[in-house]
Structure 1
Amino acid sequence: MALDKNHRVKLLRGFGVSITTKDNQIILKNGKHFYEKEHEIESYFPKKFPYDRLVISGKGMLSTEAIKTLSENNVNVILTDSFGSLVSSINFPMVSGIGSRNRMAQYDIFRDDTKTTYLQRQLLHSKFQSQINFLSSLDNDCKKIISHLKSLQKIIPNLTLRRLVSLEAQASREYFKLYASFFDEKYQFDTRNSISKTKQDASDVINALLNYGYSVLASEISKHLNGIGLDPYYSFYHHNHESFQSLTYDMIEPFRWLVEKTVYRLANAKNHALQIKKKHYIKHTKSGMVLLDTELVKKFLEMLEVDFRKTRQYERKNGMKKENGLSNCAEITIVKISIQNLSDFCVGKKQEFKI
C-alpha cells in the first residue's frame, strides 16, 4: 500500500529497490523485505511528482537520469542503512555567483574566532530553548529539567567552545534520562546511547525510530545548506574531521526536538492503529540491533511529516504577518529560514544570528 501522498514522503525499502526513468516518467519500484511479498511500482511525470522526500533503505539501482531529474525538481533523496542511520543524501547544489559568495563568506566568518564563538553560543542557547519549549508542551512533570536548562542558558555567554561542548553533553545526558521516562518499559529504552559508544547502534525500537528521524532531518538541512551555497562539511561548532557534514550537524541541534516529539507521540499513541506492536520490530541476531518493519517506518515518516508541517508564529522577513508582526510558519520552513539567517550573517546582511 502506498503512503498517503498528502504526506509528501515515500519509503523505498528492501531488496530490488529501483528509481529509473521510462517514457519521460520517473519509475519508483519498492523492494522486498522480510515483510513484503511483492514489488510496489509507481510512475509519475516529473512536474506531477507527489513527493518532497524519498527515503531509501534497501539495495537496488538508482539511474543517473532519474537522480538528475529528481534533483532538478528539488526532491530530496535520502539513503539510510537497514537500521535507519544516514548513509548519504542527494540534493541539488546552488551553482551561481551568489552561491560562491555565500561559501567564501562562510569560510571567512568561520575562521574569525570572535564571530565563531558568538555562533557557538547562539546555537547552544537555541538548542536548550527548543528543549525547554518541547518539554513545556508535555503533560509530564518536567519542571526540574526545564529549570536546569534555563540556568545553563544564563552561563552560556561566558563559556568557550570546550566548556560549551562539555555543558551540552551534561545537559544531553539529563535530558535523555528524563525523555526515557516518557516511554513504557516494554520498549527497553533507557538512553540515547544504547549498546555501544555509537549512537547509531539502536538496540531498542525508540533509538531505531530516532535514527530514522534524525537521518531525514539531517538530509533536509543538508539540502537547504547546499541550495543556498553553504559548505555542509565546514562548521563552526562540531569538529570538521569528526562529523559527517559537520555544518549539517551544527544546524540540526535546535531542531532535533521535532524528531523526539514525533517518536514520543507514536510510542504513546492512544489510537490502537498507531500503536507500536511487538510484530513491528525484531532484534538482529548477530548485531543485537533492532530492525523495524516497513509498516512502522512508514507510519513514523507520515507522523514526522505532519510535525514538520505544523505551524507556529515566527518572525520572518517575507510573508503575511499578524498584528504582532509575526507570521505563521511551518517548522520545516523555520529550519530553512534559520539557514538563510546564517548565510545572511556570514555575508554581513545581518549583525545577529537567530534561530
Structure 2
Amino acid sequence: MFEATSFSPAHESDEWAVRSDYWLFESEKSQRKRLVRERNPNALILTGQGTWLRIQGGALVIRQGFSHYPQQPENHRYFKGDLALPRIIILLDGSGSLSFDVLNWLGEQGVALARIKADGDVAVVASGAGFTANPDNLRWQYATQKDETARLAFAADLIARKMDSSIATIEGQFGQGRFAATAIEKAKDAAQRLRTDAINDMNDIRAIEGESAAAYFAVWTDIEMQWTAAARYPVPDQWRTYRSRSSVLTGRKPRNWKASHPINAMLNYAYAVKAAQLQIQAVADGFDPYAGIMHHSRPDFPAYVYDLIEPERPKVDAAILSFARSRKFSGADFMLRKDGVCRLSPQLARMVATVISA
C-alpha cells in the first residue's frame, strides 16, 4: 500500500506546481520509444521528497517522491526479466529510502543506480554489472599511470578530442555568431599542437586547453535566456544573459562550483549525470574508476571517470545549450539559496537529467 505524503510548496501561488508539471510532461515526452523486444533504453529518473524503492512479492516497487503540491502519485512496478526495466536509475537530490534487498535485486537484474546531490556532485554509483576486473584493461591503466610519457600522450589525446568536439558545438549552436570564428580557430590550433608538438609537462596541456576554453566560453556571451511570468517571479538581471562558466561566488579564484547562473547550474547537473554514466560503463568494462591518468587519483574521487568525461563535455554543452535556448523559463524553475547559489527545481533537474540520458 502506498502512503500519502504531503509536500509544502516553495512559493505562495500555484506557479511552482504549474512549472513542475510542465517539466514533468517535457521529460516524459523526451524519452525514446522502446522497440518491440528491446530493453528499455531510458533512464528512470527519480526526484522529490519521500522516494522509496522496495521489493514486494519478488518485484521492484518504486514510488516517485513529491516535489510540488498538488501532485499525482507516480508508482512503478518491475518484475524480473521485465523489458520495461531501465538499465539505470538516477536519484536526484530529495529524500527517501531503499533496502539491501533492493540493491541485491538491482545487481541480479543488471540495473545501475546513481545518486546525484543538489549541487551536481555524484554521491554514489552502484554498477548493476558489479566490478568485473579486466586484467588487460587494469594492466594498461596502471602502467599508463606510472609511465609519464604514456600519461602525457593519453592526456593530450583526450584534450585534442575535446577540442574537436568543441568545434562541433560552436558550429552547431552559434554558427556565425560573435567570437565564433576566433574560438574555432583557437580550438583547431590547440588540437593540432596537442597532436604534433612535444608535450613535456601536464601543465603544457592545461595551458593549451585554457587558451582555447577562454575563447570557447566567450562565444556563449551571445546567449539570452527567455523568461515568463517575470512580473510575478522576477529574476536577477544577470540571469538574462550569460557572462562566464565560473561562478561569482567562489572568491578571487574563478571556479565552476557554487553556480550563480541558471545555465551553469544546469551544466553542473548535466556533467554529474554524464559522469555517473561513464563510471558505470568504466566499471562494466573492468577499469578502476578511481585510477586516474590525466587527473590525479585520490580515495574520494573517481579520477579515471573525469579523464573519460573530458571529450564528452562539449557534447553535454551542446545538449544544454539547445535545451536552454529553446524554452522559456520562470523564476519558479530555480531556487536561490541564502548564499546566492542557484539550484534547479526538482522537476527541472529531472528534465536536465533526461536530456543527457536520452
Please report the TM-score for the alignment, with normalisation by the length of structure 1.
Answer: 0.77
Q: Which has the higher contact order (CA 8 A, sep 6+)?
A: 2
Aligned to 1:131: 166
Query: What do residues 320-352 of structure 1 show as CA deviations (whole Å, max 9, x unaligned)?
Result: xxxxxxxxxxxxxxxxxxxxxxxxxxxxxxxxx
2:244 to 191, 199, 203: 191
- In the TM superposition, what are the counterparts of 1:77-116 in structure 2 within 5 Å? 77-92=113-128, 95-96=131-132, 99-116=134-151
2:141 partner amino acid: Q
Matched, 1:26 2:78: no
Instruction: Indicate which of 158, 180, 183 corresponds to 2:198.
Output: 158
The structure 1 residue matched to 2:355, chosen from 261, 279, 303, is 303
Q: Distance in 1 between matches of 2:108 and 2:70?
A: 31
**1-structure distance, mates of 2:103, 2:255:** 31
Write the letter of the residue equivalent to 1:27.
Answer: V
- Aligned residue runs from structure 1 range 200-211, under 5 A: 200-211=257-268
Cα deviation for residue 265 of structure 1 reads 0.9
Which residue of 243, 250, 254 maps to 2:307? Answer: 250
Alignment correspondent of 1:325 = none
- More displaced 10-residue stretch of structure 1: 84-93 or 144-153: 84-93
Aligned to 1:45: 79
Q: Would you say 1:259 and 2:316 are equivalent positions? A: yes
Displacement of 1:300: 2.6
- Within 2, Cα distance between the matches of 1:263 and 1:73? 31
Tell me, in whole angstroms, the C-alpha distance in 2 between the residues paired with 1:100 and 1:154: 34
Q: CA distance change for structure 1 residues 13 and 295 in 2, over 3 Å: closer, same or farther? A: closer
Specify the alignment match of 1:168 in structure 2: 209
CA contact (8 A) 1:35 1:293 kept: no
Q: Which of the two has higher C-alpha Rg?
A: 2
1:327-338 matches, within 5 Å, as none
For residues 84 and 121 of structure 1, the distance between their equivalents in structure 2, rounded to whole angstroms, comes to 27
Change (3 A) 1:64 1:200: farther
Confirm or deny: 8 A CA contact 2:273 2:357 kept in the other structure: no
User: Could you tell me which amino acid in structure 2 is paired with residue 183 of structure 1?
Assistant: E
Return the alpha-carbon distance in structure 2 between the equivalents of residues 201 and 242 of structure 1: 23
Change in 2 beyond 3 A, CA 1:168/1:282: same
Equivalent residue, structure 1, for 2:187: 149
Separation in structure 2 between the aligned mates of residue 130 and residue 20 of structure 1, nearest angstrom = 41
| TM-score w.r.t. length of structure 2 | 0.76
Alignment RMSD (CA, Å): 2.4
| In structure 2, C-alpha distance between the alignment counterparts of 1:68 and 1:258, rounded to whole Å | 34
Work out the CA distance in 2 between the residues paired with 1:51 and 1:252. 23
Contact 2:223 2:241 in 1 (8 A): no
Matched residue type, 1:113: E
Stretches of structure 1 lacking an aligned partner (at least 5 in a row) = 307-355
Query: CA 1:254/1:14 → structure 2, altered by over 3 Å: closer, same or farther?
Result: same
Deviation at 1:164, TM superposition (A): 0.6
Shift, 1:35, TM fit: 5.5
% same residue: 21
